[in-house]
Amino acid sequence: MTGIRNIVILTGAGISAESGIDTFRAEGGLWEDHRVEDVATPEAFARDPDLVLRFYDMRRAAIQTKAPNAAHLALARLDREWDGDLLIVTQNVDDLHERAGATRVLHMHGEHLNAWCTACDARPRWTGPLIDRPACPECGAAALRPDIVWFGEMPYRMDEIFAALEEADLFVSIGTSGAVYPAAGFVRNARELGIPTLELNLEPSQGTYWFDEARHGPATGLVPAWVEEMLSPPRT
């Protein structure tokens, strides 16, 4: 793809699926046997904090047993070797992009391995459980919650995301169903900016018609092939 300097990549749960991390909208729309609204909203946390904390404790522990897959490793290679701007905006709250070696990563929905102190706003790195209400390392209050953007909460660093889209020459969406906004709307922002758009996903997403090009199959096949394409000199 000639003339491409700046790339924005959006990833979703599908890029981590082959690492053994459940996606959100698999069969029956249940998620780890829970309804999303029972475990991923501030109202759920207020109503039943133990249920929510146990849900996130389980997932925080689970992701630490998983490893990045070939798709994460391919994006990390692109991050290393691409000499233009590149931003991986991930909806995922696992750290597999970073463990694969990517550095230009933005977690718009938060991170499993951070806690957030609702008393002093600190966001300490956190790998253990929160169910026992541990003290905040900064202020000592027993007021830590998962550093996760729940439904109804504002995604992180939206200004940076839109600034990167303004400068982008290519928008690529990988492993997302296009079900959750504002992330699902980025392809339309890109189109309005006249930016070419590419979808790499197991199956057509809910927004597939907005993409100039869509390739369907497992991320561990599609992503390394696409990265190889991007890093190979254009055939004259």
Residue closer to ligand BV8 (CB basis): 12 or 122: 12
Looking at 80-88, 123-131, 147-155, 226-234, which segment touches ligand BV8 (CB under 6 A)?
147-155
* CB-nearest residue to ligand BV8: 14
The beta strands (E) that lie in the chain are given as: 7-11, 86-90, 105-107, 110-117, 144-148, 170-174, 197-201, 213-216
CB neighbours of 185 closer than 8 A, spacing ≥ 6? none
**How many residues form the binding site for ligand BV8 (CB under 6 A)?**
34
Concatenated DSSP letters for 205-226?
Answer: -TTGGG-SEEEES-HHHHHHHH
Binding to ligand BV8 by residue 92, rule CB under 6 A?
A: yes
Binding to ligand BV8 by residue 109, rule CB under 6 A?
A: yes
Binding to ligand BV8 by residue 93, rule CB under 6 A?
A: yes
49-53, Cβ contacts within 8 angstroms, sequence gap of 24 or more: 50/131, 52/146, 53/129, 53/130, 53/131, 53/145, 53/146
Q: Pick the closest to residue 223 from 3, 10, 5 (CA basis).
A: 10
Residue closer to ligand BV8 (CB basis): 56 or 82: 56
- Tell me the one-letter amino acid at 216: H
Binding to ligand BV8 by residue 228, rule CB under 6 A?
A: no
Q: Residue from 118, 163, 182, 231 that binds ligand BV8 (CB under 6 A)?
A: 182
d(CA 45, CA 49): 4
Binding to ligand BV8 by residue 149, rule CB under 6 A?
A: yes
Q: Pick the closest to residue 133 from 57, 61, 64 (CA basis).
A: 57
Task: Tell me, yes or no, if 109 is annotated catalytic.
Answer: yes
Q: Residue from 17, 113, 144, 170 that binds ligand BV8 (CB under 6 A)?
A: 17
Binding to ligand BV8 by residue 91, rule CB under 6 A?
A: yes
- Residues at the site binding ligand BV8, with contacts judged by CB under 6 A: 12-14, 17-18, 23-25, 40, 91-93, 109, 148-155, 175-177, 179-182, 201-203, 205, 218-219
Please list the active-site residues: 109
